[in-house]
């Protein structure tokens, strides 16, 4: 018995490595989350794409709450089972008329997890569509190995290293349009990307990275948060969750983790991992 996804959606995810659209929260709630983020952004004076990355949930209790939303966790449970760790969270916010894009990439090459069972939930806080740079996937790309990425560090690429898969057949790409409050899910090996925002308003999504508790870091001990079930494995130290907005204890952990990721300490783990 599944909790949120239909059997057909579970089968689709297994075969193609993605599924959408599912609803987490109402459109009004999504707009309220957008407000929380934009307030944080105004107060910090910095582009959220530079701050709320990899452990973005550590800045704001509201984001931890969204990551723990029962509708989202029910769908995650349908794919990876009842013992769920939140390994990370990143915002992808494009401004109106923003030339920035996300190149084709697989998260598995950079997350350093073993085995490869991570599932990303991308929650839309604004509409996401063909005009404003919707998330796109390459169906069934999750069923192969980790592929070679070229690190371009290209100016308008929103990825820290401009990591890019070569030889992608764009004609095979599937867009995952969402309304505010809806979410999509993709496997960590599913190749994905997005184009610039050609609309006047922002396109904002928060990506949450979940693993079953038996998945471990292939790059030394790291931190995560048990969001559902029981951790019988103890592979992860606990995140320092924020008790209030910008709690300095969790902000310093966020900055440290994002810095390590950006600066390359979390390396490709493909050689150390099992195929799926």
Contact set with ligand AKG (CB under 6 A):
92, 102, 107, 120, 122, 135, 192, 194, 205, 207
Residue in 146, 216, 126, 142 with CA at minimum distance from that of residue 185? 142
Q: What is the closest distance, in whole angstroms, from the C-beta atom of residue 127 to ligand AKG in the complex?
A: 13
104 versus 247: smaller Cβ distance to ligand AKG: 104
Sheet of 102-105: strand order equals 102-105, 192-194, 135-137, 174-175
Q: What is the closest distance, in whole angstroms, from the C-beta atom of residue 254 to ligand AKG in the complex?
A: 18
Are the C-beta atoms of 36 and 62 separated by less than 8 Å? yes
Q: Are strands 182-187 and 192-194 parallel, antiparallel or unpaired?
A: unpaired
Q: What is the closest distance, in whole angstroms, from the C-beta atom of residue 54 to ligand AKG in the complex?
A: 11
157 versus 273: smaller Cβ distance to ligand AKG: 157
- Give the whole-angstrom CA distance, residue 244 versus residue 77: 28
Q: What is the closest distance, in whole angstroms, from the C-beta atom of residue 91 to ligand AKG in the complex?
A: 9
The enclosing H or E element of 67 equals helix 61-67
85 versus 207: smaller Cβ distance to ligand AKG: 207
Residue in 102, 103, 93, 108 with CA at minimum distance from that of residue 143? 108
Q: What is the closest distance, in whole angstroms, from the C-beta atom of residue 158 to ligand AKG in the complex?
A: 7
Q: What is the closest distance, in whole angstroms, from the C-beta atom of residue 207 to ligand AKG in the complex?
A: 3
Which residues on adjacent β-strands are paired with residue 209?
88, 120
100 versus 247: smaller Cβ distance to ligand AKG: 100
Q: What is the closest distance, in whole angstroms, from the C-beta atom of residue 208 to ligand AKG in the complex?
A: 9
91 versus 247: smaller Cβ distance to ligand AKG: 91
206 versus 247: smaller Cβ distance to ligand AKG: 206
The enclosing H or E element of 18 equals strand 18-23
Are the C-beta atoms of 76 and 84 separated by less than 8 Å? yes
Which residues, 6+ apart, have CB-to-CB distance to 50 below 8 Å? none
Phi (first) and psi of residue 124, to 5 degrees:
-80, 125
58 versus 195: smaller Cβ distance to ligand AKG: 195
Cβ neighbour number for residue 187 with a 10 Å cutoff: 26
């Amino acid at each position: 018995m599944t909790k949120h996804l239909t059997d057909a959606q579970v089968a689709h995810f297994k075969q193609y490595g993605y599924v959408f659209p599912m609803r987490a929260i109402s459109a009004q709630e999504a707009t309220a989350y957008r407000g929380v983020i934009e307030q944080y952004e105004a107060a910090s004076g910095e582009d959220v794409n530079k701050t709320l990355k990899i452990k973005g949930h550590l800045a704001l209790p509201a984001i931890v709450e969204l990551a723990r939303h029962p509708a989202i966790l029910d769908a995650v449970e349908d794919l990876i089972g009842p013992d769920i760790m939140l390994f990370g969270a990143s915002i992808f916010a494009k401004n109106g008329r923003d030339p920035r894009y996300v190149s084709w990439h697989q998260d598995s090459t950079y997350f350093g997890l073993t085995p490869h069972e991570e599932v990303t939930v991308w929650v839309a806080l604004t509409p996401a569509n063909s005009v404003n740079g919707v998330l796109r996937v390459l169906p069934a790309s999750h069923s192969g190995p980790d592929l070679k990425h070229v690190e371009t560090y290209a100016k308008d690429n929103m990825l820290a290293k401009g990591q890019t898969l070569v030889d992608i057949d764009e004609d095979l790409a599937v867009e995952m349009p969402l309304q505010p409050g809806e979410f999509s899910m993709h496997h960590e090996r599913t190749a994905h990307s997005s184009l610039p925002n050609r609309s006047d308003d922002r396109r904002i999504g928060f990506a949450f990275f979940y693993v079953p508790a038996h998945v471990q870091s292939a790059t030394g001990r790291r931190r995560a948060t048990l969001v559902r079930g029981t951790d019988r494995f103890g592979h992860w130290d606990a995140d320092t969750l924020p008790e209030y907005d910008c709690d300095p204890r969790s902000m310093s952990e966020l900055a440290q983790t994002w810095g390590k990721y950006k600066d390359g300490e979390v390396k490709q783990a493909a050689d150390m991992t099992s195929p799926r």
